[in-house]
Amino acid sequence: MKEFPTIKQMLTSMAAGETQPSDWTRQSLTNIQKIDGKIGAFLRVNEEQALIHARQLDEMAVRWRKNLVSPSDSTRDLFGIPYALKDNMCTKGVGTTAASRILENYIPPYSATVAEKLTQANGVMVGKTNLDEFAMGSSTENSAFQKTHNPHHLNRVPGGSSGGSAAAVAAGMVPFALGSDTGGSIRQPAAFCGVIGVKPTYGRVSRFGLIAFASSLDQIGPIARTVEDVALVLRQISGHDPLDSTSAPASTEDFTRSLTGEVKELRIGVVRDMNAEGVNDQVKAAIDKAISVLSDAGAQVVEVTLPHSAYAVASYYLVAPAEASSNLARYDGVRYGRRVEGETLLEMYEKTRSEGFGLEVKRRIIIGTYALSSGYYDAYYKRAQQMRTLIRQDFDDAFQKCDVIAMPTAPSPAFAFGEKSADPLQMYLEDIFTIPANLAGLPGISLPCGVSDEGLPIGLQLLGKAFDESTVLRAAYGYEQLRGFVMPFPHGLEG
């Protein structure tokens, strides 16, 4: 397959009058039709509405072009750009399932703030993507509806939980998609699929209309194929939202301003005490090489320590299920979603939840309920929260010495279907490098830094200070320009 156009290229072409919004939407829908039978990224394709919307934009195109004072103005919004949303973001009138049987027929009466913002930015929503049920998983194998295949290797998982979004972008079906990241669910699938994913600072992007998993950790972010493209999307979706009381007062920024290509003087923190065990050799080599590329260009490499990161997975797998057990109590078969009738109210609750939830969701609800139950609260939940404080302090100390921290996104490239799903703990340990940023609320990005011998993408993760996405993006962009390799496009997907 030939190269996939980026958001920037699409906007430039429309600004020059060479293409129209409906050209891009039609191309996206055609690609989905041709390719998604093999990938399984989409749970729902919004063909008719997307085409109607794109044609409306065609009619606005002349005026849009006239208002552009300079060519760079075309990137002020996402005019006519097709995109996909992970199916845990509510879309008014368009079914939203969180990949769960319990929401199979749910049609939201309102849209998530991110969906509203992308509509205001004149983007065209073409469909909803697959995920692990309620975003609980690292391989998208926990979807109640279908498997999603890694576009680079169809026998491998795309990562998760935003596996559908990452695969859709990697396979060229859309130039960008949104994912949500509770413990790595944007960054890890981005790494597995060879694309770029950003987990913004907690509070940067409104969670209103995001189906809640763990509310103190969940954050929405973009997945795209260039650093510039993720910066363009992040600008549109960021900002305070009165509908989300945890959204930060900070307003959005033009994140492309920091994309200078300059990495001189940038201090890159490298965590020596974290790489020790369980990391694939090829991943290790690719990360070391990426760091030397940055240092050869004048970045300063400094060693930092995150002594408590070894406890991050333990803390996370108490905090996240505890919050989930509370958040998922709302699925009781009363007001919306699936109901399985019973003789009594209690029987209805139990039957509804037992038939509606998959095994991983039940597992986490039970862990969470256990960790919160009286007698165990102090030993588990409270300690997990105290560990969060120590992890946060580790980062505060590390960022005294550096501007960004570099490490792998995942310990290994994409694994095979079924390889880790038999042992839940093994699957949880997959998140070791991504979880600390969620516990501390910090921004992070994953971008391709190499391919394994089997042709599987490897992701470099860069983490930054709270609300300092600009520096993270600056470092990522600098690396992207310098890295000297092109992430190969998946091939053999058509037909």
Q: Which residues are catalytic?
A: 86, 161, 185
Which of 48, 63, 400, 425 touches other proteins by CB under 8 A?
Answer: 425
- Is the CB of 42 or the CB of 316 nearer to other proteins? 316
Count of residues near other proteins by CB under 8 A:
72
Q: Is 416 in the site for other proteins (CB under 8 A)?
A: no
Rounded Cα–Cα distance for residues 57 and 76 (Å): 16
Contacts 24+ apart (CB under 8 A), 368-371: 368/318, 368/320, 368/321, 368/322, 368/323, 368/324, 368/325, 368/326, 369/325, 371/318, 371/321, 371/322
Q: How remote is the C-alpha of 429 from its chain's centroid?
A: 18
How many C-beta atoms lie closer than 10 Å to residue 441's C-beta?
20
CA distances to 30, 128, 341, 384, 434 from 431, in Å: 35, 24, 38, 16, 5
The three-class DSSP label of residue 391 is helix
CA neighbours within 13 Å on the CB side: how many for 198? 36
Which of 88, 91, 325, 421 touches other proteins by CB under 8 A?
Answer: 325
Binding positions for other proteins, 168-207, rule CB under 8 A: 202-203
**Do residues 205 and 186 touch, judged by C-beta distance below 8 A?**
no
Q: Is 308 in the site for other proteins (CB under 8 A)?
A: yes
Which of 33, 120, 260, 389 touches other proteins by CB under 8 A?
Answer: 389
Which of 313, 398, 407, 463 touches other proteins by CB under 8 A?
Answer: 313
Based on the number of CB atoms within 10 Å of its own CB, is 111 exposed (0-12), middle (13-18) or buried (19 or more)?
buried
Pairing of the two strands 220-224 and 444-451: unpaired
Taking contact as CB under 8 A, which single stretch among the options 12-20, 62-70, 107-115, 156-164 is the one that binds other proteins?
107-115
Q: Which residues contact 223 (CB under 8 A, 6 or more apart)?
A: 162, 165, 166, 169, 176, 177, 178, 179, 186, 189, 190, 195, 196, 197, 198, 230
- Is the CB of 234 or the CB of 313 nearer to other proteins? 313
Binding mask 128-167 for other proteins (x = CB under 8 A): ----------------------------------------
Pairing of the two strands 82-86 and 124-129: parallel
Q: Is 399 in the site for other proteins (CB under 8 A)?
A: no
Q: Is 427 in the site for other proteins (CB under 8 A)?
A: no
Rounded Cα–Cα distance for residues 14 and 9 (Å): 9
Residue 442's closest CA among 195, 227, 269, 213? 269
Rounded Cα–Cα distance for residues 158 and 152 (Å): 9
Binding positions for other proteins, 454-493, rule CB under 8 A: 466
Which of 38, 76, 110, 147 touches other proteins by CB under 8 A?
Answer: 110
Which of 76, 267, 289, 383 touches other proteins by CB under 8 A?
Answer: 383
The three-class DSSP label of residue 286 is helix
Which of 345, 396, 485, 494 touches other proteins by CB under 8 A?
Answer: 345
- Is the CB of 120 or the CB of 373 nearer to other proteins? 373
Q: Is 109 in the site for other proteins (CB under 8 A)?
A: yes
Residue 426 C-beta: closest distance to other proteins, Å: 10
Tokens of 186: 């944007």
Taking contact as CB under 8 A, which single stretch among the options 27-35, 78-86, 273-281, 336-344 is the one that binds other proteins?
336-344
Residue 382 C-beta: closest distance to other proteins, Å: 6
Which of 56, 67, 72, 354 touches other proteins by CB under 8 A?
Answer: 354
Rounded Cα–Cα distance for residues 36 and 426 (Å): 29
Q: Is 94 in the site for other proteins (CB under 8 A)?
A: no
- Is the CB of 136 or the CB of 169 nearer to other proteins? 136
What's the full length of the chain, in residues?
Answer: 495
Q: Is 106 in the site for other proteins (CB under 8 A)?
A: yes
Residue 286 C-beta: closest distance to other proteins, Å: 28
Binding positions for other proteins, 10-69, rule CB under 8 A: none
Q: Is 341 in the site for other proteins (CB under 8 A)?
A: yes
- Is the CB of 108 or the CB of 478 nearer to other proteins? 108
Taking contact as CB under 8 A, which single stretch among the options 172-180, 230-238, 293-301, 359-367 is the one that binds other proteins?
359-367
Tokens of 124: 């065209």
Taking contact as CB under 8 A, which single stretch among the options 225-233, 396-404, 408-416, 424-432 is the one that binds other proteins?
424-432
Binding mask 225-264 for other proteins (x = CB under 8 A): -----------------x--xx-x----------------
Q: Is 367 in the site for other proteins (CB under 8 A)?
A: yes
Burial 386-419 (b: 16+ CB within 10 A, else e): ebbeebbebbeebbeebbbbbbbbbbbbbbebeb
Pairing of the two strands 300-304 and 267-271: parallel
